Amino acid sequence: MFKKVFVTGGAGFIGSHLVDALLAKGAAVVVYDNFCTGHAEFLPAHSPKLQVVRGDVLDLAALKAACAGCDFIFHFQANADVRGGKENTRVDLEQNTIATWNALEAARVNGVKGFAFASSSAIYGEPDVFPTPENFAPQQTSLYGASKYAGEAMIQAYGEYFGMRSFCYRFVSWIGERYTHGIVFDILKKLQRDPHTLPLLGDGTQKKSYLYVKDGVSGVMRGIEQAADRKNVFNLGHDYFITVIEVVKIVLDELGKQEVKLEFAGGTRGWVGDSPLVHLDTSKIKGLGWKPETSIEEGLRRTVRYLKQNPHLLKRA
């Protein structure tokens, strides 16, 4: 399907796995990344079909120039810190909403007719329907979720104006190799500071669905390869969820740590805007033949093993 594709955030956790999948399909790939959170080591060292451009998504002129000649854009760059918007109310607007508009403008001027977007389950706010389907009408509870929802809306409008096919994927939290932020990362960082006490946000009963990164990328590709509609929105998540306490127990077991005291901050949410239950209805993407192959438990264990083997990632953050 692809001859030459453009991937913003292609040196990041999810983006680099996407790049691997695209190269495996024979596509030429242009990675556009400022390497603020991305890592060159996540990309193939020698691939004749890979071009890496160091650039910022807020630099519209550079973005337009870099994606010239591409026939599909995967816009996977984003501010990934869901909590940060309360302290810096511009970060989600700039890094998510304006950056998405820039990527769309780059697509428009270059005649790109396919656009895939890394959205988020956060756009649902705190739904009262579980598993939550794509047609649930959300009310926003975080600037992060609002910025992603705004991005989806712009993508659909550009598709209408300029004949682009669009694919918006609403992700749960992803886990796996090259993982550089999130609950497992936070647990390991905290244990480095104090191996005997683990402070946790909320009361530990928050329920989340996690998805192994390679399963997620296969879902992204399946949607593009099999969907018939011009505008597409897909949930991507696991069939079930587990609690924060269960996540902690799996991580501690994989680390071989038994005597760790858990200290809970209290409350049903980890932070303002955090949904106490994330469980998405994935029947739509499953209808195209996709399903997760890796359990949440195994995905968490693989994440811990990877971080143990690459401790420099914990030091850099």
Task: Give the three-state DSSP class for 78.
Answer: coil
Task: Evaluate if residue 97 carries a pLDDT over 90.
Answer: yes
Q: Are residues 184 and 228 in the same domain?
A: no
Q: Mind listing the pLDDT tens digit for each residue in 136-183? A: 999 999 999 999 999 999 999 999 999 999 999 999 999 999 999 999
Task: Evaluate if residue 95 carries a pLDDT over 70.
Answer: yes
Give dist(CA 51, CA 171) in Å, integer.
Answer: 27
Q: What is the CATH number of the domain that holds 311?
A: 3.90.25.10
Structurally, the chain folds into a number of domains equal to 2
Q: Taking a C-beta distance cutoff of 8 angstroms, is the pair 167, 134 a contact?
A: no
Q: Are residues 22 and 167 in the same domain?
A: yes
Q: Are residues 262 and 156 in the same domain?
A: no
How much is the pTM?
0.97
Q: Are residues 133 and 58 in the same domain?
A: yes
Task: Give the three-state DSSP class for 77.
Answer: coil
Q: Are residues 132 and 264 in the same domain?
A: no
Encoded tokens for 194? 């104090």
Task: Evaluate if residue 317 carries a pLDDT over 70.
Answer: no
Q: Are residues 154 and 14 in the same domain?
A: yes
Amino acid at 292: P
Q: What is the CATH number of the domain that holds 53?
A: 3.40.50.720
Q: Are residues 262 and 312 in the same domain?
A: yes
Q: Are residues 180 and 140 in the same domain?
A: no
Q: Which residues contact 3 (CB under 8 A, 6 or more apart)?
A: 27, 28, 71
Q: Residue 41 sits in which domain range?
A: 4-174+211-236
Q: Mind listing the pLDDT tens digit for each residue in 164-174? A: 999 999 999 99
Give dist(CA 33, CA 98) in Å, integer.
Answer: 16
Residue 44 binned pLDDT confidence (cut-offs 50, 70, 90): very high
Q: Mind listing the pLDDT tens digit for each residue in 194-245? A: 999 999 999 999 999 999 999 999 999 999 999 999 999 999 999 999 999 9
Return the pLDDT at 80: 84
Q: What is the mean pLDDT of residues 290-315?
A: 97
Give dist(CA 51, CA 232) in Å, integer.
Answer: 28
Percent of residues, the chain, with pLDDT higher than 70:
100
Residue 86 binned pLDDT confidence (cut-offs 50, 70, 90): confident
Give dist(CA 84, CA 50) in Å, integer.
Answer: 33
Q: Are residues 114 and 32 in the same domain?
A: yes
In the predicted model, what is the mean pLDDT of the chain?
A: 96
Q: Are residues 21 and 116 in the same domain?
A: yes
The runs of H, that is alpha helices, within 166-267 are 183-193, 213-226, 244-255
Task: Evaluate if residue 275 carries a pLDDT over 70.
Answer: yes
Q: Are residues 135 and 200 in the same domain?
A: no
Q: Are residues 98 and 201 in the same domain?
A: no
